[in-house]
Structure 1
Amino acid sequence: MKNTQQIYSLPRGRLAKWLVAPGQDTPHEIRVALVGTLFGTLPIFFGGVSNTIAVAWALAYRHPTLPFQLWLAAEILVCATRLCVLFFSRRRAAQAKETPTDLYILLAPLWGATVGYGAFVSAISGDWVAATLSFLSAAAMVGGICFRNFAAPRLVAVMIFCSLGPCCIGALLAREPVLLLTLLQIPFYMFAMSVAAQRLNGMLISTMKAERENSHRARHDGLTGLLNREGLFKAVGPRGTPPVTAGMTLLYLDLDGFKPVNDAYGHEAGDMLLIQVATRLRALGSPHALVARMGGDEFVIVDRIVDGHASQEMAAAVARAIEQPFEIAPGLAITVGASVGMATVTTEDTDIDAVLRLADNAMYDAKRRKKGGLGLEHQAPEAAGIAVEAFVVEGPTD
């Protein structure tokens, strides 16, 4: 399966971590997703870059003095660096490699500072046109800053402060009474946009948490916490019939004697039994094994076991583990059995549906042979490159 999702590295430095901190308890995968949003919305990024460079160029042309020329040079340098880091990060993320997230984050406030510097030198220049244009440019950037970076509200607040803060200082030094109005407007503007970014961030995180929870519920069994059928298909591969690769072993097992437990002790006891079965199956598989409840008292384990003999031992171990008594209530221990069908993939391009059907058939073959009193183990012929075996543990039958 080819992973087309771009994953960006979380920041490592203390300052960068502080800037992108969500401000609330957030799962790791959501924090990764939040950082990823900072690398998106390219139209807003290019619009902001084009605007600030155009204004700096126009005012440097109008005032060919050192302060304005420094502003233009700083805008070009910072914007070009941000652009290079952005595209480099996107390429690294597409290749599943580490990204320079710290550098990218720290360049954002620096860009805000260049905008603020331009507004400051324009205000103290005595040129009413330059001051008006630079102030409007700085104010216009705030909306884009908030919308593009609200996944990191602290970063938004710092960028707004760096871009609009110098406007207030410039207004005080400009000796132009009209500009003093900015001393009233800008603080409220900064506060309002920062609060808006924080609230949008909270809404985004709440939505992501809800989606994460819904996705987990859709792919996991509510009782045992194991994967359900859909979750198993999603975990093995993409789309409806994902491929399995050679060397994978699929065990399909059904509990023998589960119905009598339900009938004798009630559904709560049956649920407790299923939960304990799930716990034992998780313990038997490797760290990378997929364990699923297919419904009722049927379970599946998918694991990569290269050696065929080891696959048989695994199936036998599963059967023996189920045979051990289960304490479903204080002082109440019950014993059930298990019929296990095994399908070992030995060829490529075999979808999981085919493997499930073969293992399922082997499991029911084992159950029939058990009821007919035909021994403990039966091995069926190979079909379509898949070795199928059935294992039975003696115990109560349904």
Structure 2
Amino acid sequence: MNRIEMPSQRSPIDRLTIWLLGSRLAVPDAIASQLMNGLFASIPIFLGGILNITLVAAVAAMRHPSAAFLGWLSLEILFGAIRLGVLVHGRRAIRSGRTPPRLLAALLSCAWAGSVGFGAFLCLTSSDWVLAAIACLSAAAMVCGICLRNFGTPRLAAIMVLLALLPCAAAGLMTTEPIMPIISLQLPVFFLTIFSASFSLHRMMVSRMTALNDLERSESLNRTILQASPDYTLILDAADMVVFYNQPMTVEADQHALIGRSWLSVLPEEDQTIGRQALEDAKAGRSANLATHHFDASGQKRWTDVIVKQISDGSGRLIVVARDITHQKKSEEQAIWMAQHDALTGLPNRAVLQDRLDAMLDGADHAMTGALLIIDVDNFKSINDMFGHDAGDALLCAFADHLRAAVGADDLVARTGGDEFALILATGSEAEVERTAERIFDRLREPFSHGGRLIDCGASIGASFIPRDGKLRSEIMKAADIALYAAKAGGRTQLRVFEAAMMVEVERHQAMIASARYALQHETVMPHYQPKMSLRTAQAAGFEALLRWRDRDGALQGPGLIMAAFDDPVLSAPLSERMLEKILDDVEHWVRADIPFGHVAINVTAGDFRRGGIVETIPGRLDARAIPPACIQIEVTETVFLSQSADDVKDALRRLSGHGIRIALDDFGTGYASLSHLNQFPVNLLKIDRSFVARIGSDPDAEAISATVINLGHCLGMEVVAEGVETAEQERHLVAMGCDTGQGFLYSRAMPMEEVAPFLTTSRASLPRTGTA
């Protein structure tokens, strides 16, 4: 802000300029600069003053050609020429953005005003009253011109008026004419009047310029806000016609395209009803809001959130502000899509499946309107473990493509989680369900290729019908799950349609899981030990640890009632861990008590060979308890050799064998292992399955198979153990065949740990025998 105060750091010339051309009013620097530049404005007044006073001086020199009047004329011509040159130079400087010579122009103006006063003094003292009258009139005109032209610099105007009129007042007192002193008395009043008018005019003009400056700044700010705003802004008149429109990032010509149009006509037809309601709400004084869309110049759909309000100026006009929410809308659509679809395969998810089922059940009558198929990828975990998760993901995507290709346009394909998918078929025909399943199986027969390797992929399918198999969504899904369980239990890679009888098997399975969970939680799982008797010495060669558990009534049960738990990934590992820990506790006790128990055989499954499973921990546990490795045997079935992780099984068995632990192949002859597996895996013992032993003496084929297994084992340097020996006759045949060891009820049932030591001390003669090797 410019004030009369002069900062001390400015030069004397600057301080003089600011004082001479400033005022007592506080004005913005921009306005102060405009006021000072008024010295170079008002050319007509400037030229009129120069020409007028020069003409008066010329008249005076003609009437009185004295040196004084000729000098005055010369002075006026010189000042006029110099001031005109300074004026032209200053205007050029202003146009080019430079500071004009303000102090020079001000000093020249003061000198010129002094010359006017000097000339008037000469005219009044010349006793030429005609010339004096002309001079007085010209001086008065000059004073008026000075006030009008220099209203922006009132101090300069006051000084110039004093320089022009004070000589007149002095001349009035010096003349002999009696009336002239009256002029001298009137001039101070004229001075005050002129000064008051000059300063009043200055205040008025400064106030106006300040208001205009504020208005321009406000308009500039509003224009900047509108241009920077991401919103569309419209003003509607009382007839809802667009009278103002601003669109961000749009040229002014395009903005005028909407002016004069009805706002409702701008909206899409489907939104005009809510747009009309928004106008009515706004005119009633309420704020109205709606979401609508339009298409931009490139044809892309743009969404906007619109607010309509009444302008509170009594004009009835409305302001419409619309913000582009296309990005937000797309984000919402993407979020909705992601909430309803699987990120990996792009298929609808369980939520969409459930909504479709609910909709079908709501409109269903007694007639079948659709079918639900639950599809599970067979052995997916093994594929993941063997080939990696990237292969598993690629397999799921390919599987999803196969399902899409196998169904119709009205059918739904969804991924419900993990390796499980679901189909909703718009058919109530069981034949059509079977045809769809067959198309899926046909596509899956072609191996899936990943990383240059072919991967076989199968699927099990369970189906239920809507609404035959349930009135609720949960019932339909449960029925399909039960059918899927039946398909898996029946050998996988097949379709099973839900039947009421399947519930029995599921309930039995769930009962097994519940019993196993109860046994683990209440720590009722324990090993019992069945002796393995040497058929040559009639002495106990060792024992096999068999799982026993107590139910809620405290009754001792075998593993058959919790068999499903061994295939459950959550329960199988804890069961194996609990058995191993208790077996090692018992073995450690017998070793320290020097009880000649021989060895304990421990049954392990394919799951126990998983990384982090119990098998890889056995050597470390034996070392920690100081148990000799010969005290432990590991029994595996042929299915372990055929598992997806056969290489890992082979490596684990070799580590166990290298540690001194013997390996037994259980149930030999009932699986699908080839004889080459006996060389590939470090097997020390063969166990003849009880199904063959039970038919010895009554079935020649069973006897031939048993004899062949015994001979094969001896040829390979392996010990042979016969399971399920229950009669003396079976024992005599086995002895005659050269079998090494027998195990079964003939010798003893499985016994708890406390009965092992008494059993070992019992006389062998008490056992039924019909012959020895």
| TM-score range relative to shorter protein | 0.5 to 0.7
Cα 1:91–1:179 shift into 2, 3 Å:
same
Over residues 69-128 of structure 1, what are the superposed CA-to-partner deviations in whole Å (9 max), with x where a residue is unaligned?
111111111111111110111122112223112111221111110000001122222322
Q: Which runs of 4+ in 1 moved over 6 A?
A: none
Determine the C-alpha separation between the residues in 2 that align with 1:154 and 1:90.
22
Determine the C-alpha separation between the residues in 2 that align with 1:71 and 1:231.
62
Map 1:44-123 to 2 at 5 A: 44-123=45-124
TM-score after normalising by structure 1: 0.55
User: Deviation at 1:15?
Assistant: 2.8
Map 1:172-183 to 2 at 5 A: 172-183=173-184
Determine the C-alpha separation between the residues in 2 that align with 1:101 and 1:367.
61
- Equivalent of 2:330, from 355, 360, 368? 368
Instruction: Report the structure, 1 or 2, having the larger helix content.
Output: 1
Determine the C-alpha separation between the residues in 2 that align with 1:148 and 1:229.
39
1:49 partner SS:
helix
Residue in 2 that maps onto 1:33: 34
2:179 partner SS:
helix
1:98 partner SS:
coil
Over residues 152-200 of structure 1, what are the superposed CA-to-partner deviations in whole Å (9 max), with x where a residue is unaligned?
1111111110001100111111222121111122111111011111011
Determine the C-alpha separation between the residues in 2 that align with 1:129 and 1:140.
17
Decide whether the 8 Å contact of 1:146 with 1:197 is kept in 2.
yes
TM-score after normalising by structure 2: 0.29
Identity of aligned pairs, percent? Answer: 35
Indicate yes or no: 2:215 matched with 1:228. no
Number of aligned residue pairs: give it.
Answer: 243
Determine the C-alpha separation between the residues in 1 that align with 2:214 and 2:143.
34
Determine the C-alpha separation between the residues in 1 that align with 2:79 and 2:85.
10
The letter for the 1-side match of 2:199 is Q
The letter for the 2-side match of 1:75 is E
Residue in 2 that maps onto 1:315: none
Cα 1:38–1:178 shift into 2, 3 Å:
same
Decide whether the 8 Å contact of 1:89 with 1:99 is kept in 2.
yes
Decide whether the 8 Å contact of 2:56 with 2:135 is kept in 1.
yes
Residue in 2 that maps onto 1:312: none
Decide whether the 8 Å contact of 1:22 with 1:31 is kept in 2.
no
Indicate yes or no: 2:12 matched with 1:15. no
2:183 partner SS:
helix
Determine the C-alpha separation between the residues in 2 that align with 1:57 and 1:112.
17
Cα 1:132–1:34 shift into 2, 3 Å:
same
Determine the C-alpha separation between the residues in 2 that align with 1:140 and 1:101.
24
Larger Rg: 2
Determine the C-alpha separation between the residues in 2 that align with 1:190 and 1:231.
54
The letter for the 2-side match of 1:104 is A
Indicate yes or no: 2:175 matched with 1:213. no
Determine the C-alpha separation between the residues in 1 that align with 2:187 and 2:253.
57
- Asked which structure has the greater RCO (Cα within 8 Å, sep 6+), the reply is 1
The letter for the 2-side match of 1:228 is I
1:177 partner SS:
coil
The letter for the 2-side match of 1:229 is L
Please list every run of 5 or more consecutive structure 1 residues that lacks an aligned counterpart in the other structure.
Answer: 1-10, 233-238, 243-294, 297-359, 376-398
Decide whether the 8 Å contact of 2:50 with 2:80 is kept in 1.
yes
The letter for the 1-side match of 2:211 is A
Decide whether the 8 Å contact of 1:120 with 1:170 is kept in 2.
yes
Residue in 1 that maps onto 2:139: 138
The Cα RMSD (Å) is: 3.2
Residue in 2 that maps onto 1:163: 164
1:38 partner SS:
helix
Determine the C-alpha separation between the residues in 1 that align with 2:105 and 2:141.
22
User: Deviation at 1:214?
Assistant: 2.4
Cα 1:174–1:13 shift into 2, 3 Å:
farther
1:228 partner SS:
helix
Determine the C-alpha separation between the residues in 1 that align with 2:17 and 2:131.
34
Determine the C-alpha separation between the residues in 1 that align with 2:105 and 2:228.
36
Residue in 1 that maps onto 2:543: none
Determine the C-alpha separation between the residues in 2 that align with 1:195 and 1:57.
33
Determine the C-alpha separation between the residues in 2 that align with 1:162 and 1:241.
57
The letter for the 2-side match of 1:127 is D
Determine the C-alpha separation between the residues in 1 that align with 2:165 and 2:175.
15
Cα 1:230–1:158 shift into 2, 3 Å:
farther
User: Deviation at 1:141?
Assistant: 0.9
User: Deviation at 1:370?
Assistant: 6.8
Cα 1:212–1:12 shift into 2, 3 Å:
farther
Indicate yes or no: 2:151 matched with 1:150. yes
Over residues 289-333 of structure 1, what are the superposed CA-to-partner deviations in whole Å (9 max), with x where a residue is unaligned?
xxxxxx99xxxxxxxxxxxxxxxxxxxxxxxxxxxxxxxxxxxxx
The letter for the 1-side match of 2:330 is R
Cα 1:367–1:78 shift into 2, 3 Å:
farther
Determine the C-alpha separation between the residues in 2 that align with 1:110 and 1:60.
20
Determine the C-alpha separation between the residues in 2 that align with 1:241 and 1:209.
32
Residue in 2 that maps onto 1:268: none
Determine the C-alpha separation between the residues in 2 that align with 1:100 and 1:54.
28
Cα 1:134–1:231 shift into 2, 3 Å:
farther
Determine the C-alpha separation between the residues in 2 that align with 1:35 and 1:123.
34
Residue in 1 that maps onto 2:400: none
Determine the C-alpha separation between the residues in 2 that align with 1:12 and 1:28.
18
Please list every run of 5 or more consecutive structure 2 residues that lacks an aligned counterpart in the other structure.
Answer: 1-11, 230-250, 255-305, 308-322, 339-773
